Copies of this chain bind each other. A is one copy, B any other.
Amino acid sequence: MHHHVEVVVVGAGLAGLACARELSRREIGVIVCEARDRVGGRVDSVLIDGERVELGGQFAGPGQDRVHALAAELGVPVFRTHTAGVHLVEHESGRTGRFRGVVPRLSPAAMLDFAQAEARFERLARTVDPEVPWRGPAADRLDGVTLESWIRRTLLTPAGRRLFALATRLLWACEPAELSLLHALFYVRAAGGLRAVMATDGGAQQDMLDGGAHLLAVRMARDLGDRVRLGMPIRRIAQDDAGVVVTAASGVSVRADQVVVAVPPTLAGRIVHEPALPAARDALTQRLAMGSTIKCMIVYAAPFWRDAGLSGHALSLRGPLAAVADSGSPAGRHGVLAGVLEGAVARRLAGRSAEERRGLVLDELVRLFGPAAARPVAYVERDWNSEEYTRGAYAALFPPGAWTAYGPALRAPAGRVHWAGAETATRWYGYMDGAIRSGEDAAAAVAPRVTGGRTPVSG
Residues of chain A whose beta carbon lies under 8 Å from any beta carbon of chain B: 140, 143-146, 148-149, 174-178, 235, 249, 266, 269-270, 272, 276, 279-280, 282-283, 286-290, 292, 344, 347, 350-351, 383, 385-386, 388, 391-392, 399-402, 404-406
Given contacts A269-B270, A286-B392, 17 further A-B contacts (CB under 8 A): A140-B177, A143-B177, A144-B148, A144-B149, A145-B146, A174-B401, A175-B401, A177-B400, A235-B272, A282-B385, A283-B347, A283-B385, A286-B289, A286-B290, A287-B287, A292-B405, A399-B400
Say whether, besides A145-B149, A272-B249, A405 and B283 are in contact (CB < 8 Å): no
Residues of B within 8 Å of A400, CB to CB, are 146, 148, 177-178, 399-400
Q: What are 20 of the A-B contact pairs (CB < 8 Å)?
A: A140-B177, A144-B146, A144-B148, A145-B145, A146-B400, A146-B401, A149-B149, A178-B400, A279-B385, A279-B386, A279-B391, A280-B347, A283-B289, A283-B292, A283-B385, A286-B289, A287-B289, A347-B406, A399-B400, A399-B401
B249 contacts A266, C-beta separation under 8 Å: no
A19 to B31, CA, bound (A): 45
- Tell me, rounded to whole Å, the shortest Cβ–Cβ distance linking A105 to chain B: 28
Q: Which of B144, B280, B383 sits near A279, CB closer than 8 Å?
A: B383
Instruction: List the 7 shortest-distance A-B pairs measured between CB atoms, nearest first.
Output: A399-B399, A286-B289, A177-B401, A178-B401, A144-B177, A279-B385, A276-B388
Q: How far is the CB of A264 from chain B (nearest CB, A)?
A: 9
Of A175, A350, A406, the most chain B CB neighbours within 10 A belong to A175
A176, A289, A383, A404 interface centre (most CB from chain B within 10 Å)? A289
Q: Kindly provide the distance from the CB of A251 to the nearest chain B CB, expressed in whole angstroms.
A: 8
Bound CA–CA A249/B399 (angstroms): 32
A313 to chain B, nearest CB (A): 28
Q: Report the nearest B residue to A346, measured CB to CB.
A: B279
Nearest-CB distance from A141 to chain B (Å)?
Answer: 9
Q: Which residues of B contact A347 (CB under 8 A)?
A: 280, 283, 405-406
Q: Which residues of B contact A344 (CB under 8 A)?
A: 405
Q: Chain B nearest CB: distance from A250 CB in Å?
A: 12
A175 partner, pick from B276, B350, B405, beta carbons under 8 A:
B405
Minimal Cβ-Cβ distance residue in B for A292? B283
